[in-house]
Amino acid sequence: MSSEVTALLAPTGVLRAGINLGNFLLVTGKAENGDPQGVSPSVAGKLAERLGVPLKLVPFATPGELADQAENDVWDVGLIGAEPQRALTIEFTAAYVEIEATYMVPAGSPIQTVAEVDRPGVRIAVTGRSAYGLWLDRNIEAAELVRSDSLDSAYEQFVADGLDALAGLRPRLITDLEKTPGARILDGQFSAVQQAVGTPKKNMAAADFLKAFIEELKADGTIAGLIDSHGVTGRLSVAPAT
């Protein structure tokens, strides 16, 4: 690792890591000082250790808010879902974990498969600007997307307005299912959210180091160990090597 990489990724002498608090699988707790804890903060910590600099976690309520700051010198690396829209301003590594995204349908729904959701007249509740929401923006052709600001408000709108499907990450939908009598989670997935590490495009000279570092963490079992230690085994999967 060169001093140029450290200078690019930690120009203030501290690695400022943008953390999405909206992903309850990757941020599972809070330290005594208020810092978020979980797989993504731990990955940021491993990177800071490799660079030999202190870590400062910069929390954001949603991934969209984190991505919006890519060109504003607020964070040096951001840990969010890699999506083409975000890749316009952020250079991403390959994913380090994946999360299956699918639908929940209400009691009595005639919808049986993921493919049946994208039909005229079907209304889908979704958290706007989430990674899976951006995927739906690009790929839904016939159904209507009803966007909300948060996971909770998307669920509330799904129930209150009698919408036809709720899009979400399977682990969260399992939680929502418990409070929705008669509802079903559809088998299969419409996408898998690729959780990656990104850095602003101005840091392209450090991108190869960052990508190789993430592949190393996947290959040597570090990511698997973090999934286990943070209690999300079976809900997060180590992403395939590239």
DSSP 135-182: HHHHH--SSEEEEESSHHHHHHHHHHTT-SEEEEEHHHHHHHHTTSTT
Angle at which helices 39-51 and 222-229 cross, to 10°: 140
Q: At what angle do helices 222-229 and 207-219 cross, to 10 degrees?
A: 70
pLDDT of 166 > 80? The answer is yes
**% of the chain beyond a pLDDT of 70:** 100
In 3D space, the residue among 150, 191, 156 whose CA is nearest the CA of residue 170 turns out to be 191
Q: pLDDT for 194-215, tens place per residue? A: 899 999 999 999 999 999 999 9
Domains 3-97+194-238 and 99-191 are alike in CATH topology: yes
The whole-model pTM stands at 0.78
Can you give the residue ranges of every domain in the chain?
A: 3-97+194-238, 99-191
Residue 235 above 90 pLDDT? no
| pLDDT tens sequence across 4-63 | 999 999 999 999 999 999 988 999 999 999 999 999 999 999 999 999 999 999 999 999
For domain 99-191, is the CATH number 2.60.40.10?
no
pLDDT at 2 over 90: no
- The answer, yes or no, to whether residue 91 has pLDDT greater than 70, is yes
Q: Classify domain 3-97+194-238 at the CATH superfamily level.
A: Periplasmic binding protein-like II (3.40.190.10)
